[in-house]
Structure 1
């Protein structure tokens, strides 16, 4: 057992970097580490070694918002996106896919935007079917996706099509995929229109706030990724044959949109320490291996 003296020495020997904001350090890295690919930690508290870049333009995709330098992912993620973009073109989703943020070159917390996308296994895909795959860098900063959810958040818009449904079904049916986050109205519509005989894949489609102009794909920890933390199963996954199309889904378009008013009483946990957000994480909050990822060539 370590003595107090030894513990003190270890603390004093820890690099000063450990208390620096992780998002500033990872956001400043322009290139990946030259290591074997490895997602480290969890989707919302981690980093990644050996990420690879999604080429800015391919035969069936374009990476968007290139100024963010977030078109980096685990090799499994990059291959998945290339595969899905080809399927998108083949089923009539324009010329393929416009792909938004994946991860920073070394993953980690970001200076803006996402809480997750930290280990190279998350990717945002625009709901806008591409008409052109020859957009310039400047055009990719200016163009926007399309909303498929109404302003009141309760229904889909006319932008939502059967091809969107097919694309999400293909993505959710891929064994590499853990779950896909969409606006609640999209999940409700997909539950309504899915056939009775083929619904198992729907359990991977998860309602979440926002996501009116894109869907967020999260991949499973790849085989052999020993430092990757597997996503905690949800009630839907633990239930037998659950597709997430039960009464709890309607909470997103009822109680969630109309939360009960405060009675003015002090919450019991008001004095509890506030949970840190990703942009407040220091290096000490991340897995210890992330220090080495930052220091690697």
Structure 2
């Protein structure tokens, strides 16, 4: 069975092998394994399915058929974290990334460091994201691209650089944030295909305070926890993609009022009150293939496209970590509730 090309993770190898054997024996993927978490099954696919690019489901519960790869190197971009093999997406998103890489140079940005897009067949990721499942989301680092090509090892090990002041998760560090950061984000917001851009609340606040261009575009820029070292671009469902579930449009205007102010109150960050008499909560059930759109079973079982995984690139010696960067394991608080309109 050649539908799955597995990578080094033991969990992914086992999940992929079990599903492949079951499908080869005549079972549907859904019947083959309804107990295995969907993230293990989709994480085991190292290359996309053959066919035209089609997203199915929602940004946080879906998959993509016929995903295409963003080349790991372009004139004005470099793909990061190659070993994750998450540089796959819908061609409309890949076009947006490449356009932003060109426009960014004109805005004084030296080039894009591109983070996660989607797995080869989309679906739930083995780590790191709830969305990025249908090839319509991408992360763009807020670290400018160096004036040289990074090695594969550097791309895997280079730490993120937060735009926040040390130990202050809602305050911009003025020694790192520049007008070019603002121009890059707002250039992405200007594209009609872009539905939302997620940033840390402090970044949204700084944009609200300083942006003198089209203020209505600020409504697309949505505050959310994290996103202090990268911004997240989400495009709308492509025309004709009837199986793709669109989000409601963000609020009109710049939305620099009460929705943003909420993030700077105590409410989002207060620890929830616990009832000492309440039974311990049950752990959340893992999402399985049966929870995803029916088309995702076919996407998972489909023949491979013949594309080459990003993880096939040989690693090179690593460079030292950048000074002042966010170190592995550093985190910021996560709110206990999310406001409407993400």
Contact 1:61/1:133 (8 A) holds in 2: no
- TM-aligned CA deviation for residue 273 of structure 1: 7.9
- TM-aligned CA deviation for residue 263 of structure 1: 7.0
1:107 aligned partner: 122
TM-score (norm 1): 0.86
- TM-aligned CA deviation for residue 248 of structure 1: 2.7
TM-score (norm 2): 0.75
Where does structure 2 lack aligned partners over 5 or more consecutive residues? 1-27, 304-342
User: In 2, Cα distance between the equivalents of 1:143 and 1:272?
Assistant: 37
1:146 aligns with 2:152: no
SS of 2:34's equivalent?
Answer: helix
1:182 aligns with 2:199: yes
Contact 2:29/2:297 (8 A) holds in 1: no
- 1:213 is aligned, of 229, 237, 243, to 229
Contact 1:60/1:133 (8 A) holds in 2: no
- TM-aligned CA deviation for residue 229 of structure 1: 0.3
Moved over 6 A (4+): 270-274
User: In 1, Cα distance between the equivalents of 2:277 and 2:241?
Assistant: 44
Cα pair distance change 1:136/1:230, threshold 3 Å: same
1:7 aligned partner: none
Cα pair distance change 1:172/1:16, threshold 3 Å: same
- TM-aligned CA deviation for residue 244 of structure 1: 1.2
SS of 1:77's equivalent?
Answer: helix
Where does structure 1 lack aligned partners over 5 or more consecutive residues? 1-11
- 1:60 is aligned, of 66, 72, 76, to 76
Cα pair distance change 1:170/1:140, threshold 3 Å: same
Cα pair distance change 1:133/1:227, threshold 3 Å: farther
1:9 aligned partner: none
CA RMSD of aligned residues (A): 2.2
- 1:290 is aligned, of 293, 296, 317, to 296
Greater alpha carbon shift after TM alignment, 203-212 vs 258-267: 258-267
**1:1-297 equivalent positions in 2, closer than 5 A:** 15-94=31-110, 96-150=111-165, 151-157=167-173, 158-195=175-212, 198-234=214-250, 236=251, 241-256=252-267, 258-259=269-270, 262=273, 264=275, 276=285, 280-297=286-303
Pairs aligned (count)? 274
